[in-house]
Amino acid sequence: MKNDARIYIAGHQGLVGSAILRLLLQRGYSNLLLRSHAELDLTQAVAVKQFFQLEQPEYVFLAAAKVGGIQANDTYPADFIRDNLQIQINIIDAAYQTGVKKLLFLGSSCIYPKLAPQPLKEDYLLTGSLEPTNQWYAIAKIAGIKMCQAYRRQYQFNAISLMPTNLYGPGDNFHLTHSHVLPALIRKFHEAKLHGESAVSVWGSGNPRREFLHVDDLADAALFLMQHYDSEAIINIGVGKDIRIRELAELVKEVVGYPGAIQFDTSKPDGTLQKLLEVSRLQALGWQARISLRAGIESTYQWYLAHQGQFRQS
C-alpha cells in the first residue's frame, strides 16, 4: 500500500476510524478519502455505489458500524442488526464491483459463543450460542465476516477480517448509559469527584473479566495486517491478558483521583463472564500491543478532560 494510494476509511469520525486516520497521516499517507455521515449515509446502497464509482478507492478500512454497550444493544436490537448489515453489504459489494485492491473488515470479539473456552480462539466462531444481550450486533458482524470470505472464494476479492477485543481511547463515547464500561467509568468517577459524591455505582458484580486494547494499538495492527496478511481466516487483535471489572474500577478511580467508595449494583447484568482473545496467530506474524492499560487510561482521561464540554450531561 503506497503512500499515494487512494484509501477510503469508512467511519473515520468514530473511535476506530479516527485512530486509523491519525496513524495513516502520521505514516505519510496523503490520498485519504473521507466522508461524514451527513455527506454519505452508508446504509443507502445507491449512494455508496455512486461514491465508489466516483472516487475509485484502492484500499478500504471498513470501520463504520453502529456500536454501543449492553443497554444500547438490549434497547435497540433492530437498529443494531439492520444498520450494521446494510453498511457491510453496501461497502463490501461496492468495493468488489469497483475493483478495490484490498478491504479490511473490523469485526468484534462478541462474535464468539458466550460459553466458549477461554481464551477465545478464532476457530471457536459459530460453535455455540451467543451472549443474548448483544446477539444482534454479533450476528451482523458474523455476516460481515462470511461475506468477506464468500467474496474471496467466489470472486477472488481480497478481503480480510479482524476481530478486536474491547477498545478504548481518544474519541470514545462517554455517555453514561450508552457507552462501554471503561469510558463510562472514567466519566462516572470524574463527575463523582467534581460533585463530591461519597460513592460511585458500577453495573454488575465486578467479577467479569475483560481485555482492553487501546485504539491506537488497534490502528497499528490494522495497518500492519493490511500490509502483511492475506487470508480468509479471521484474526484476533488483542493484548492477550484481561482484568476483573472490579480491578478496572479501582484503576480508573486511582487515575482520576476519586477518593470515595465503589458500590457494585448486582441488579444490573454482568454480561459474559470472560472474553479474553487468544492472539498467537497475530503474534506469530510479528505484532503485539505496546500501550499498557494504565498508560492508556491516563491518556484517555486527559483526552476526556480536554473534550468533556462536547459530551451531553445525560
Indicate the annotated binding residues. 11-17, 106-109, 141, 164-167, 180, 188, 203, 210, 270
Neighbours of 86 (CB within 10 A): 18
Which of 29, 112, 137, 304 is an active site residue?
A: 137
Of all helices (H) and strands (E), which one includes residue 224?
A: helix 215-228
Q: What are the helix (H) ranges across 30-129? A: 45-55, 70-75, 77-97
**β-bridge mates for residue 26, sequence order:** none
Which residues have a Cβ under 8 Å from the Cβ of 136 and sit 6 or more positions away?
73, 77, 78, 80, 81
Show binding-site residues for NADP(+). Answer: 11-17, 106-109, 141, 164-167, 180
Quick check: is 137 catalytic? yes
Contact at 8 Å (CB) between 223 and 215? no
Q: Name the grid cell of 57.
A: 478507492
Alpha carbon distance 175, 71 (integer Å)? 11
Alpha carbon distance 13, 19 (integer Å)? 9
CA geometry: angle at 21 spanning 35 and 4, to 5°? 90
148, 46, 140: which is closest to 100 by C-alpha?
148
Show binding-site residues for substrate. Answer: 188, 203, 210, 270
Contact at 8 Å (CB) between 183 and 172? yes
Which residues are known catalytic residues?
137
